[in-house]
Amino acid sequence: MPKLALATIVAQDAIDAAPALLGCKLIHDSQEGTTSGIIVETEAYSQDDEASHSFGGPIARTQVMFGPPGYAYIYFTYGMHYCFNVVTGGEGNGQGVLIRALEPVSGLELMARRRFATAKQLPLLDKQLHDVSNGPAKLVQAMAITKADYGVNLLINGRLRLEAGTVPKHIVQTTRVGIRRAADAPRRFYIAGNPFVSRR
């Protein structure tokens, strides 16, 4: 069963867009080569959500979340990590979907080289393979997404873009990871049984 058009998916509120983005593909063209992966884990953040960066209204850092859907919201955290979100919902409404894990599709060796200091040879061991992109900051590093990608349109044919995929068979809905406020809200979604999910 094919996915809805991406523009339709991201126009929904984050709580609906988050599961709908599972199975879609994220693609990045770079000088080094192309990397891509299937989105297997997401979290929804909305303006009325205490845990969201958009809670309380727009500030400089979160401006893009209040713009039209389908753009990249990238933030820096813990002094060393970047994370990547897809802006969702209507303009003027601060929302986004955090992409928490990818299943590599192409450019696996390049992704592994970016993640690990030493150049790994394919095939990777299972431990190394899963570790390439099973976390929000890990996939950003593997895909070489940077703050320069903040605010790019992911729906057009740019260097960083989304592509519709197939609807996953089973989706699990549960609580989000690494937050204190609204910790009980079931706003995390992942593809059941997928080995690249960051945690169960």
Chain residues binding DNA by CB under 7 A are: 43, 45, 51-54, 59-61, 73, 75-81, 83, 85, 96, 98, 115, 131, 135-138, 176-181, 198
Nearer to DNA by C-beta: 115 or 167? 115
Q: Are strands 81-87 and 96-106 parallel, antiparallel or unpaired?
A: antiparallel
Nearer to DNA by C-beta: 113 or 115? 115
- The sign of the CA dihedral 70, 147, 64, 56 is positive
CB 143 to DNA: min, Å: 12
CB 115 to DNA: min, Å: 6
**Do 151 and 72 meet the contact criterion of CB atoms below 8 Å apart?**
yes
The H or E element that residue 55 is part of is: none
Nearer to DNA by C-beta: 87 or 191? 87
Residue 114 DSSP SS3? helix
Determine the Cα–Cα distance for residues 198 and 200; give it in Å rounded to an integer.
7
Nearer to DNA by C-beta: 128 or 166? 128
CB 1 to DNA: min, Å: 28
CB 10 to DNA: min, Å: 14
SS3 content of the chain, % helix, strand, coil (to 5): 25, 30, 50
